[in-house]
Amino acid sequence: MTHERESNPISSSARKSTVWHIDSGATSHMTFDRSAFVTYSPITPFRVQMGDRSSSLAVARGDVHLCIKSNGKTSICELRDVLHVPSFVYSRISVTSLAKRGLVVQFHSDFAKILRGGNLVASGTRVGGLYTLDLSSSSKHQETALAVASLQRWHERLGHVHQAGVLEMARKKRCFKHDYTPWKTRRSSL
């Protein structure tokens, strides 16, 4: 029996980052961050090959919610079919996956735009030679993303109770420790 040794282009001792790169070479959205997932399904592990021919192991697939900044507003975007690749240091948004969902990515000298039907959905900023998604750094917005994720989890845990039912239970504090009220934010999917 032979064991294939996993290689990683970035040292595993490097600090993990909350940055999401807009990656025109990636075929799937990918992140190392297990806690970012609002839905999570283990898969038969497979190797994800990088541009430099190194590879890392994908172990699950699910959806991730991100608080993005766009046109001066913050909204929650759902990334669907994100691979969980624990050895990664950065997360990647796949331009190919976005295109399959009808979105267009435009790269400019210092920024990038993600558009749906000509409308700006998200933007990115060039840092060095890479484009990074513009995320909200506000703890209030991060709490909102977690609350939306929590709503999805409770929806599933309670046997797929309708969102209004889950919110009613939250208002009456029947199943939650905290009063989650920020669920009325704008949402879109990427």
Q: What is the pLDDT of residues 46-102, one digit of tens each?
A: 999 887 888 999 999 999 988 888 777 788 888 999 999 999 888 999 999 999 999
Q: Which residues contact 103 (CB under 8 A, 6 or more apart)?
A: 114, 115, 116, 121, 190
* Angle between helices 163-171 and 139-157 in degrees, nearest 10: 110
Residue at token pair 């796949």: 94
Give tens-digit pLDDT for 119-171. Answer: 999 999 999 999 999 987 643 444 444 455 555 655 565 666 666 666 666 55
The single residue listed with the structure tokens 């845990």 is 157
Q: For position 120, which CATH number holds?
A: 2.40.70
Domains of the chain: total: 2
57: tokens are 């192991």
Domain hosting residue 99, numbered range: 20-133
**Would 10 be classed as within a structural domain?**
no
| φ and ψ at residue 178, rounded to 5 degrees | -115, 155
Smallest CA-to-CA distance from 60 within 78, 27, 86 is with 86
Is the pTM for the entire model greater than 0.75?
Answer: no
Residue 3 within any structural domain of the chain = no
